[in-house]
Chain A
């Protein structure tokens, strides 16, 4: 089982460039989320999706766009990269089988982004 797959693992961008971080899961999970992790800040929610075609903003959505055209894929787009977006990005997915709020998050391995 692949679980949650993120690509690329590492990326260096120049300020103003755009790029897409890819996230795919093969567990048929309805819920998917993007988090960013900065030193000493923990994991902060960027955007999330509760199913194909449905997305919403998290705590730190500015500068990021998402879409969910299929259950499997949830890409994160940076339209005009800024140095403040230098971070490690984690994609996570969870199923719907348990009590609401009690479904285990499965994280991808992370994508380390540096914006110069």
Chain B
């Protein structure tokens, strides 16, 4: 089951904040966040584990609500370089990172 991302697209002006959500109908073990710029490969941003452990970039924050099976990615004081498509990838109990199920993506456009 593919996780559901919202919104599908968002347009921000530089300096504005955004939240991208990722929801699953199955119990999650971990949630990965990746950003993909047009014509390029996805690049790692953040991993959140059941139990609260996180690893990722200092300038990007995220949360993991185990009760709701939902993760949110917080982008603050957006810069032009934040533009791209953001994907969440979910791993369920017993599954490794090699079996991530990705959402359909959220396209973020930051304009001057």
Contact = CB atoms under 8 A, between A and B. Distances in A.
A104 B41 CA distance: 14
Give the interface size class of chain A: 20 to 34
Interface residues of B, number: 28
Contacts of B53: 99, 102
Given A31-B97, A94-B97, A99-B49, A104 B44 contact: yes
Contacts of B42: 43, 90, 105, 107
Contact of A105 (B49, B95, B97, B103): B97
Interface stretch (B10-18, B29-37, B66-74, B75-83): B29-37
B84 interface: no
A32 interface: yes
A101 B89 contact: no
A110 B105 contact: no
Interface in A10-63: 31-33, 35, 40-45, 48-50, 58-59
Contact of B101 (A45, A99, A100, A106): A45
Given A32-B98, A33-B98, A100-B96, A105 B44 contact: yes
Contacts of B87: 42-43
Contacts, number: 80
B104 A104 contact: no
B27 interface: no
Nearest to B40: A109
Interface in B2-55: 2, 29-30, 32, 34, 40-44, 47, 49, 53, 55
Given A41-B104, A42-B104, A43-B87, A103 B99 contact: no
A106 B32 CA distance: 12
Interface in A88-116: 90, 92, 94, 98-110
Nearest to B42: A107
13 contacts: A31-B98, A42-B87, A42-B102, A42-B103, A45-B100, A94-B96, A98-B55, A99-B30, A99-B53, A101-B29, A102-B55, A104-B44, A110-B40
Interface of A: 31-33, 35, 40-45, 48-50, 58-59, 90, 92, 94, 98-110
